[in-house]
């Protein structure tokens, strides 16, 4: 994807008509607002953002249908996903496919919620699982049979926040 056109944030404030004209002229419909003292912003139109969201939703639906109906697609997509998530190679084969299915299902279920947090949690959870599989000692400790009760679990301590 090409980098969006850029202007200083102050130009949006001082010359809004010029900034909107640059946004309309931008080939990708995006304008990067450079900020000196904080994170840069991307400006786009609501229509373009809604159009992108619709495309993402349709693509995710297609992936989900393919994954759920065709076992060979799950395997192929799991192989492709390893190019994006190299840590997947430490997962057992069936877990690689399980990750891909859960990722796509979560992407579809959150498409209309305006949050990516559940998708991030799926990725983090599976990456942690791969980390366990990559460490033979840790995997052995977590998968060996345990007998008995280990007693009560202490309540987590929540650090106080500075306000």
- Give the residue-averaged pLDDT of 9-35: 91
- 110 CB-near residues (< 8 Å, 6+ apart): 116, 117, 118, 119
Rounded Cα distance, 75 and 93, in Å: 8
pLDDT at 116: 85
Q: How far is CA 138 from CA 54, 77, 129, 148, 152, in A?
A: 43, 28, 11, 20, 23
Per the CB < 8 A criterion, the answer to whether 77 and 70 are in contact is no
Average pLDDT over the chain reads 89
What pTM does this model have? 0.67
pLDDT at 121: 95
Per the CB < 8 A criterion, the answer to whether 75 and 100 are in contact is no
Neighbours of 36 (CB within 10 A): 8
Beta bridge partners of 42: 32
Sign of the dihedral defined by the CA atoms of residues 53, 58, 60, 61, in that order: positive
- Give the residue-averaged pLDDT of 88-116: 89
- 68 CB-near residues (< 8 Å, 6+ apart): 101
Site of tokens 């002229």 = 25
Per the CB < 8 A criterion, the answer to whether 33 and 42 are in contact is yes
Rounded Cα distance, 149 and 93, in Å: 32
């Amino acid at each position: 994807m090409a980098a969006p056109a850029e202007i200083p944030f102050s130009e949006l404030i001082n010359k809004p008509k010029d900034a909107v004209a640059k946004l309309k002229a931008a080939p990708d419909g995006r304008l990067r607002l450079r900020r000196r003292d904080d994170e840069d912003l991307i400006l786009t139109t609501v229509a373009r953002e809604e159009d992108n969201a619709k495309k993402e939703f349709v693509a995710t639906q297609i992936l989900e249908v393919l994954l759920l109906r065709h076992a060979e697609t799950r395997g192929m997509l799991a192989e492709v996903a390893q190019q994006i998530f190299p840590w997947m190679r430490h997962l057992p084969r069936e877990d690689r496919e399980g990750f891909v299915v859960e990722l796509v299902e979560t992407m579809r279920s959150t498409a209309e919620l305006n949050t990516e947090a559940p998708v991030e949690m799926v990725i983090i959870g599976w990456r942690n699982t791969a980390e366990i599989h990559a460490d033979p000692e840790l995997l052995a400790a977590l998968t060996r049979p345990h007998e008995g009760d280990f007693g009560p679990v202490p309540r987590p301590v929540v650090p106080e926040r500075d306000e």
